[in-house]
Structure 1
Amino acid sequence: MTTRRLTVAQALVAFLARQYTERDGRRRRLIAATWGIFGHGNVAGIGQALVESGTGPGTPMPYYQGRNEQAMVHAAVGYARQSRRLSAHAVTTSIGPGATNLVTGAALATVNRLPVLLLPGDVFATRPADPVLQQLELPWAGDVSVNDTLRQVSRWFDRVTRPEALIPAALQAMRVLADPAETGAVTLALPQDVQAEAYDWPVEFFAERVWRVARPRPDTDALAAARQALAAARRPLIVAGGGIRHSEAEGALREFAEATGIPVAATQAGKGSLPHDHPADIGAIGHTGTATADELARTADLVIGAGTRWTDFTTASATLFQNPDVRFVNINITSFDAHKMAGTSLVGDAREVLAELGAGAADFRVPAAYREEYGAAKARWESRVDAAYLAGDPAARPTQTQLLGALDALVTGDDILINAAGSLPGDLHRLWRARSADQYHVEYGYSCMGYEIPAAIGVAMAAPGRPVWALVGDGTYLMNPTEIVTAVQEDIPIKVVIIQNHGYASIGGLSEAVGAERFGTAYRRRAADGTYTGDPLPVDLAANAASLGLRVIRAKTVGDLREALAEARASTVPTGVYIETETADTVSGAPPAQAWWDVPVAAIASRASAVGAREEYERRIAARRRHL
């Protein structure tokens, strides 16, 4: 047997550089690059191996320097989503806090079914000294390290304690990353002594390996049952989720909707599955949905969930689908998700399932009156969007929705918008007019503050030349601005819109609604009574962003904002637009929620606000329903 003598880390890097995915005849690198921050747990292992592999453009394993371990995972996730899960990045860290900083990013990746390879250093496998720096000691287990915190948020976890164990571990890691039904965060914990150990590797380990991404087709009996349910429906509704995007099923969805006349509502992950101006597109569904979609959902007799996980925001905490005869058909690559809502399960690739479902329902079309009903409702909602976007006085301070209106007037289908947390996901889901399948990128599976800026970098890497916007509120910005430095270093011209509204605006509104009186949600000085009700904090986020190397344009008015956004879009360097928005309390903002969301309210309280909120809560929970 021919062998090649390398360290474990060198062998892993060489192996990763030769892995590919293939779908529909197109081949892509499975692990296209590695992000890393180095410490004693990986500097002499993975760090040295990356140097050994070569540095600079065109190397077998490109390397990117991050500033925060969590942010590196976010960048990798942004890249993977934009790549439709067919290409991913690896992230390497030292042991200890570097490794535990990966946990939030890993959870986000796994919740959203997006591939990322995590390569944290680990404590010595040989235990030459015990404990070593940053080692967790437990009196009941000697084989646990802080990396075990990643087990619960990883789709596959292994600790490589011997060189020869790398071979099966690496192959399993690639299998999970490339499998659309299994993918998520994959962790290979690498003890620092093992990383540096030499071994004679079979050369076959380094041969090009192609992981074919299958498009499984549905069970014929399940397909027949779904067709029967469709034939009996009079008010069917499609709910498009992220699986449409991952499987590139937008064309199949459009053809199915046009052939049947069934309206299409979208989850956060599925928004853009149809362009906003398609006659069948009725916008967002659920708590952050449109009045059109939510009213149709309440009366639907058949709901076809295509690539959705049926989260509480989508179902309005199990209060949305109120027709007593409603039934569900679930199209999903995983049986775990396909069996939710007691639906008929069509387990398979969304593109293939939609094509086969449509082929067997060629004679089905919804009644003309139903099409007219949702067409008129869609037009009414568009008028409400126009009103929210309208900014009459160019000298006035804009509301957040007017900011979105200014951006809406500027972008084309090439632009990509990224957001994850705060009040923006609701406004965007309800109001944004998606012009292309991948324009709308809102991470709402984990809704992680601090995702936007690093994710924008990853998206821009996967979509070079396209304008990529990171929309962040002040709360989110303060969580994780450091990857601005990476964008500057790599000359990635992301556009960062920093919205100053002096606190956690979204949670402030929620707090008020549930009787918690906006406690702890404003960014203000303490008042004489000890509460945070003093003056707004004199924090200059524009100056902070500029200090990290971002070119920042300050805007004060609607007119300034329009000019600043246009200037940022044309910029060839990382550029930010800083704007302080008017609140919706004083100027018209977004339409209110069209469906409920379950946030439990105190059952016993002495303050009137909480007592009143509890009464409303009890009224709402009476509408909850389990679909069985």
Structure 2
Amino acid sequence: MKQLISYQLVNYLEERGIEHIFGLCGHTNIAVLSALENSKIKFVNVRHEQIAAHMADGYARVKKKASVLLSHLGPGLTNAATGVANAALDSIPMVVIAGDVPTHYYGKHPHQEVNLHGDATQYEIYRPFVKRAWRVDSPHLFPEILEKAFQLAESGNPGPVLVSVPMDIFSKEIETSLFEKQKRNAKSLYKPSIDNETAKKVIQTLANAENPIFYVGGGVILADAAAELRELVDRLNMPVAYSLMGKGAVSDEHPLTLGMTGFWGTKFINDKCKTADFIFGLGTRFAEADSSSWEPEYTFNDQQTKLIQIDIDSSEIGRNFPVEIGVVADLKQALTVLNRVAQELFPYGVRRDSLDKLKEEISDYRKKFREGNRQFIEDNSFPMMPQRIVEEVRQVLPKNALITTDVGWNKNGVGQQFPLYEAGTILTPGGFATMGFGAPAALGAKIAAPDRVVVSLVGDGGFGQNPAVLATAAEENIPVVWVIMNNFAFGTIAGLQKAHFGTTLGTVFQKDGKPYSPDFAAIAKAYGVEGVKVEAAEEFKPILEKAIKANKPIVIDVAMLNNPVPTDGHWNIMDIYSPGKNVHHVTVS
């Protein structure tokens, strides 16, 4: 029996358990949209493809499986590119299905085709960042390509893939047996683990080490391995430092949690890593900002510290620091074996003479850090201190609430100063550091977890990238709360530019020489979303509490002083700007 590909595609996605598709219409994909009309799959409509990509990204992070993005050709695909690249650099699984020019018009430069250097090659635009890009040249190959796309997106080091489909293929009929055949294929693969001998070597090495440290990244969250990690931490009695993407893998309340390393880390945390004899790296790339530009005097000193590293991606092992023991494995599988072996070797846990002293050091450090922030947290001035904003957000939110950040103070300050208690409760743009991620990602997260509170901490620059997220929020009634930390600037860059070059040209928002900002509360109301403008510091917390209880989309616009996040770490761009001067950021009023 034959049936239109567009309808068979929808049936395939239903069978695969897809519940939502994010996207925007175009003449190349309306055959698919029409086939979705009577489907149980919900199409989530947007006003810009970048919004759809970031929503799909946030959705996949919470669902822990591949999301689906539907795009038009040409400008639709390029609009979505930033969001898809962001997902790629954070290893988020996503299947992008994009309409393409009709096969019978290859080479004729039909409407909206990108073909300056090759005919029918729009899929090449995504090749640098997706795991694979396919162009479907024959209708009968589409089912097999689609199956491969999902498998590749979700296996190994996960990430986005692209399937570029000429529009005429969506409207062709093929035998239903071609799609039926794909049902027999396994929809999940068994993942590589670690062998007993290697596990014993790792555990014995760490048990014998004098000053070992766990260093965990986002790979632990992606592998859903936080519970296994916490068990091993308690058995080996080792402290835990993390990258920004690894934040939350072990609760910030745990007595052995140090905190975030690198440029936005603190001297205490960086020094603990620098003086370790062994670092046990799990699911981390040892990225530049997290590693203080890999310079040994700041965070990780590979001259005196040996590295054990486990990652699903072999190319990450030894990329930035030489390894003593390197293991390619899925972290959930590997940690399960490591826990079993650790229990066999040390049934009562590893005893360390310095454990009580270490816990006391960590506890004292936390108290001193908080005391150093107290003046900002308790400051009643307006515009508000950013430290007070994030402190009161933490006080109001339940422990399992989902937080999205954008870039700037909201991202770096949250990484440094906002405690997390459960794994996967922060969604932040790591590798690509994409401005504009936070606001739409929150919508995707809320759709994926409708019973959890979702709050987006974003700057005015980040929210201003795509305010049309509010149209989708209003239409679908998605109850996200956006807290716009409004400093009338691209604040982090303004502080950087002011410190090194004495100017803020192009980084602050002004009109007639005075600070300027749109009225985001009024913009929200224009979209049909409630908007509230905070007028005094003492108003913020009760407004936020009320917004969360309201269970509807709400924008809270709160003016904030551009007070930079403390930077005890190092990033060598500072040496490029101001060699030998040890200058970081300054406050921009």
Equivalence for 2:569: 595
Equivalence for 2:393: 407
Distance 1:225 1:128 in 2: 58
User: Which residue of 138, 149, 158 maps to 2:125?
Assistant: 149
* More displaced stretch, 122-131 vs 481-490: 122-131
% same residue: 24
TM-superposed CA distance for 1:577, in Å, is 1.1
Distance 1:372 1:512 in 2: 42
Tell me the amino acid that sits aligned with residue 64 of structure 1.
V
Q: Does residue 477 of structure 1 match 2:452? A: no
Equivalence for 1:190: 165
TM-superposed CA distance for 1:149, in Å, is 0.5
Equivalence for 2:10: 13
Distance 1:237 1:510 in 2: 32
TM-superposed CA distance for 1:136, in Å, is 2.5
TM-superposed CA distance for 1:441, in Å, is 2.1
User: Which residue of 110, 132, 137 maps to 1:132?
Assistant: 110
Q: TM-score normalized by structure 2?
A: 0.91
Distance 2:121 2:106 in 1: 16
* More displaced stretch, 364-373 vs 481-490: 364-373
Equivalence for 2:528: 549
Equivalence for 1:607: none
TM-superposed CA distance for 1:514, in Å, is 4.0
TM-superposed CA distance for 1:437, in Å, is 1.7
Q: Does residue 582 of structure 1 match 2:561? A: yes
Distance 1:208 1:69 in 2: 33
Secondary structure of the residue that 1:211 maps to in structure 2?
coil
Distance 1:238 1:486 in 2: 41
Contact 1:154–1:186 under 8 Å retained in 2: yes
Equivalence for 1:166: 142
**Please, which runs of 5 or more residues in structure 1 have no aligned partner?**
20-28, 527-533, 603-609, 620-628
**Please, which runs of 5 or more residues in structure 2 have no aligned partner?**
585-589
Equivalence for 2:322: 342
Q: Does residue 614 of structure 1 match 2:586? A: no
Q: Does the C-alpha gap of structure 1 residues 164 and 512 become closer, same or farther in structure 2, counting only changes over 3 Å?
A: same
Structure 1 ranges of 4+ moved more than 6 A: none
Q: Does the C-alpha gap of structure 1 residues 113 and 545 become closer, same or farther in structure 2, counting only changes over 3 Å?
A: same
Contact 2:409–2:492 under 8 Å retained in 1: yes
Distance 1:491 1:395 in 2: 34
Tell me the amino acid that sits aligned with residue 15 of structure 1.
Y
Contact 2:480–2:553 under 8 Å retained in 1: yes
Equivalence for 2:175: 200
User: Which residue of 342, 350, 357 maps to 1:365?
Assistant: 350
Equivalence for 2:537: 558
CA offset digits 1:394-443 (Å, max 9, x no partner)? 57542111101111211121311110311221111111111222322222
User: Which residue of 334, 356, 381 maps to 2:337?
Assistant: 356
Distance 1:40 1:158 in 2: 20
Equivalence for 1:112: 90
User: Which residue of 275, 278, 281 maps to 2:251?
Assistant: 275
Secondary structure of the residue that 2:366 maps to in structure 1?
helix
Equivalence for 2:587: none
Secondary structure of the residue that 1:502 maps to in structure 2?
coil
Secondary structure of the residue that 1:479 maps to in structure 2?
coil
* More displaced stretch, 414-423 vs 361-370: 361-370
Q: Does the C-alpha gap of structure 1 residues 516 and 330 become closer, same or farther in structure 2, counting only changes over 3 Å?
A: farther
* More displaced stretch, 391-400 vs 188-197: 391-400
Distance 2:120 2:43 in 1: 31
TM-superposed CA distance for 1:464, in Å, is 1.1
Tell me the amino acid that sits aligned with residue 156 of structure 1.
R
Q: Does residue 82 of structure 1 match 2:62? A: yes
Q: Does the C-alpha gap of structure 1 residues 410 and 387 become closer, same or farther in structure 2, counting only changes over 3 Å?
A: farther
Distance 2:160 2:322 in 1: 28
Secondary structure of the residue that 1:492 maps to in structure 2?
coil
Contact 2:274–2:305 under 8 Å retained in 1: no
TM-superposed CA distance for 1:601, in Å, is 5.1
Tell me the amino acid that sits aligned with residue 110 of structure 2.
V
Distance 1:307 1:244 in 2: 6
Q: Does the C-alpha gap of structure 1 residues 383 and 570 become closer, same or farther in structure 2, counting only changes over 3 Å?
A: farther
User: Which residue of 71, 85, 88 maps to 1:93?
Assistant: 71
TM-superposed CA distance for 1:498, in Å, is 1.0
Contact 1:103–1:153 under 8 Å retained in 2: no
Contact 1:290–1:381 under 8 Å retained in 2: no
Distance 1:232 1:616 in 2: 41
* More displaced stretch, 477-486 vs 374-383: 374-383
Q: Does the C-alpha gap of structure 1 residues 94 and 248 become closer, same or farther in structure 2, counting only changes over 3 Å?
A: closer
Distance 2:46 2:378 in 1: 43
Distance 1:101 1:538 in 2: 25
Contact 2:55–2:442 under 8 Å retained in 1: yes
TM-superposed CA distance for 1:247, in Å, is 2.0
Q: Does residue 259 of structure 1 match 2:235? A: yes
User: Which residue of 468, 476, 488 maps to 2:454?
Assistant: 468
TM-superposed CA distance for 1:91, in Å, is 1.4
TM-superposed CA distance for 1:563, in Å, is 1.0
CA offset digits 1:261-282 (Å, max 9, x no partner)? 1001121111111111111111
CA offset digits 1:515-571 (Å, max 9, x no partner)? 464332111136xxxxxxx21125222212221222112212221001111111111
Contact 1:71–1:454 under 8 Å retained in 2: yes
Distance 2:515 2:138 in 1: 56
Distance 1:317 1:575 in 2: 39
Distance 1:543 1:318 in 2: 45
Equivalence for 2:221: 245
Secondary structure of the residue that 2:414 maps to in structure 1?
helix
Q: How does 1:478-557 map to 2 (within 5 A)?
A: 478-515=464-501, 517-525=503-511, 534-537=513-516, 539-557=518-536
CA offset digits 1:575-599 (Å, max 9, x no partner)? 1111101232xxxx75x21210121
Distance 2:232 2:204 in 1: 16
* More displaced stretch, 426-435 vs 316-325: 316-325
Secondary structure of the residue that 1:153 maps to in structure 2?
coil
Contact 2:379–2:385 under 8 Å retained in 1: no
Q: TM-score normalized by structure 1?
A: 0.86
- CA RMSD after TM alignment: 2.4
Q: Does the C-alpha gap of structure 1 residues 196 and 293 become closer, same or farther in structure 2, counting only changes over 3 Å?
A: same
TM-superposed CA distance for 1:505, in Å, is 0.6
Q: Does the C-alpha gap of structure 1 residues 208 and 570 become closer, same or farther in structure 2, counting only changes over 3 Å?
A: farther
Distance 1:168 1:184 in 2: 19
User: Which residue of 444, 454, 458 maps to 2:430?
Assistant: 444
Secondary structure of the residue that 2:98 maps to in structure 1?
strand
Distance 1:121 1:396 in 2: 50
Secondary structure of the residue that 1:194 maps to in structure 2?
helix
CA offset digits 1:141-196 (Å, max 9, x no partner)? 33423x321122211211112111102211210211231x1421111001111221
